[in-house]
């Protein structure tokens, strides 16, 4: 089953990486009416949340620039950014490298209990790293759909 789950990680992340390649960076900071965030924020948020759900919840250091939480954490928005935003290339590199680190790190650990159960913003509590990791696929898909809606909205301007 673990091999199937890791294959699914590859599939989901491939969709994210392909979507990022299709959208020009030049439009990634536009926030159309009715949206709180932009395309760049959504890609960075996917990477940040994945890192949190896999590494931080197990007490490991997140392998990110320190300002990523202020830029891409839950509840943040580009209108409030004080930090310099990372380039598309930087976010793309993080998304690609993260895949390999997760596969190496989680090998044989999906059933491992989290040191402390984690309840997300919508009230779902995770008790194992596998539960949190599997939820991250749903989270990533939600944000890919938001990115596609943003892109369609920007393209119609």
pLDDT at 1 over 90: no
Quote the Cα angle for 12-2-50, to 5°: 40
Residues 76 and 44: their CA atoms lie apart, in Å, by 11
Instruction: Write down the architecture of domain 2-155 according to CATH.
Output: Up-down Bundle (1.20)
Average pLDDT, the chain: 94
In the chain, what are the domain boundaries? 2-155
Residues 6+ apart with CB under 8 A from 62: 51, 52, 55, 56, 68
* Digit-coded pLDDT (tens) for 36-92: 999 999 999 999 999 999 999 999 989 888 899 999 999 999 999 988 899 999 999
Helix ranges, the chain (H): 2-22, 39-54, 68-72, 88-106, 129-155
Q: Output the pTM of the full model.
A: 0.94
């Amino acid at each position: 089953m673990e091999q199937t789950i890791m294959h699914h990680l590859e599939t989901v992340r491939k969709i994210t990486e392909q979507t990022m390649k299709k959208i020009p960076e030049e439009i990634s900071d536009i926030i159309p009416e009715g949206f709180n965030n932009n395309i760049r924020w959504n890609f960075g948020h996917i990477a940040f949340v994945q890192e949190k759900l896999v590494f931080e919840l197990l007490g490991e250091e997140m392998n990110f620039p320190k300002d990523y939480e202020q830029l891409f954490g839950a509840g943040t928005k580009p209108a409030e950014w004080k930090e310099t935003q990372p380039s598309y290339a930087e976010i793309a590199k993080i998304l690609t490298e993260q895949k390999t680190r997760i596969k190496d790190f989680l090998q044989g650990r999906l059933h491992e209990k989290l040191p402390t159960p984690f309840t997300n913003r919508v009230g779902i509590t995770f008790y194992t790293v596998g539960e949190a990791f599997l939820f991250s696929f749903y989270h990533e898909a939600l944000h890919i759909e938001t990115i596609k809606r943003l892109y369609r909205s920007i393209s119609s301007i």
